[in-house]
Chains A and B, each alone.
Chain A
Amino acid sequence: MDFQGIHDHLRLINAPGLLRADEPRAANPEDKKDKGRGGDAYLVVEADALASFLETCRDDERLSFEILADLTAVDPGKDDEDFWMIVQLLSVTLRHRLAIKALVPKDPGQIPSSSAVYRAAQWHERECAEMFGIEFTGHPDPRNILLPDDWPGSPLRKDYEFPTEYRGISCE
């Protein structure tokens, strides 16, 4: 199925948390400031319902997304109030993909864990947790995955300040 078909089908079965679709579009030639939008088409989903939305995508026969190809986060800027959670799903049997976006408020920065739906999400969520400081509630193993356990701060946040020293080693 193409993106439109997936979107229509999810509407039809009333998938939990589905807000809207966002598709790339050409620039408006009359408005010089409008540059249009490139990239992939994605679905915007409510953050709290992300896990059950993914479960629907996995279990529905006409979608059957077996693989969670990616789960990551983006900090769009210092002044933005939300992180973007980006999820990429892949169906090998039906040969289609889907990109999903959920807005997670930076304060308090909590989102229910999706690792019960896709076990592949465990490590991705651990990485998001240490890099952005997002808390995944219900995660079975919320340790750091790449950074040392006592690393200060969340490096991929736009307001991150580099440490000047770590365990006696100067970082200047």
Chain B
Amino acid sequence: MAILEHAFEENLLTTKVDWLLNWAKLNSIWPMTFGLACCAIEMMAVGAAHHDIDRFGAGAFRATPRQADLMIVAGTVNFKMAERVKRLYDQMPHPKYVIAMGACATGGGPYHKFGYTVVKGVDRVIPVDIYIAGCPPRPEALLEGLMALQNKMRRTSIIRKPAQIA
């Protein structure tokens, strides 16, 4: 901060409340440490140095759902796991977001027809914000999904619309 020291007068910064809150929120999406299958390997690659999810402020993988904002469902969800996924989702504080990563989490993937224990899409258990295609998706695809989620969060507003005030 040395170059910024003593560079300004005392100032006020004017901005919109929505903009400030969204800016803070979408640049610190903390995902949950949570991988179910091979997609989790790609998710780990995104966390590592080459792709570096920390550039988006989403590199702080939390070991508990109570500190997480984002659940990346990376892999095959079977019925035995679905119950646990639901419980973990319920333990996350609002606002919470879910990314369904890869074909399995989106719609059952290769197990859609004959996988008797595979849930045909995690959206049958918990609400999903972003779907990422691929089997497994490239790390860039997960980053694209993350950016899509950021765009979605950018559109949210805490201010009531005029009609709602009346």
Contact = CB atoms under 8 A, between A and B. Distances in A.
Interface of A: 147-148, 151, 155, 160, 162-163, 166-167, 169-172
A169 B83 CA distance: 10
A147 B118 CA distance: 11
B125 interface: yes
B80 A148 contact: yes
A166 B124 contact: no
B135 to A, nearest CB: 21
B67 interface: no
Given A169-B124, A170-B124, A148 B79 contact: yes
Given A148-B79, A169-B79, A169-B82, A163 B116 contact: yes
B119 interface: yes
Interface of B: 79-80, 82-83, 116-117, 119-120, 124-125
A167 B79 contact: yes
A151 B79 CA distance: 10
The secondary structure that dominates the A interface is loop
A170 B118 CA distance: 11
13 contacts: A147-B117, A148-B79, A148-B80, A151-B79, A163-B116, A166-B79, A169-B79, A169-B119, A169-B124, A169-B125, A170-B120, A171-B120, A172-B120
B80 A147 contact: yes
Which residue of A160, A167, A169, A170 has the most chain B CB atoms within 10 A of its CB atom? A169
Among B79, B83, B125, residue most surrounded by chain A Cβ atoms (within 10 Å):
B79
A47 B124 CA distance: 44
A162 B116 contact: yes
Contacts of B125: 169
Nearest to A169: B124
Contacts of A170: 120, 124
Contacts of A172: 120
Contacts of B80: 147-148
Contacts of A163: 116
A50 B119 CA distance: 38
A126 to B, nearest CB: 15
Given A169-B124, A169-B125, A170-B124, A155 B116 contact: yes
Contacts of A151: 79, 117
A172 B120 CA distance: 8
Contacts of A155: 116-117
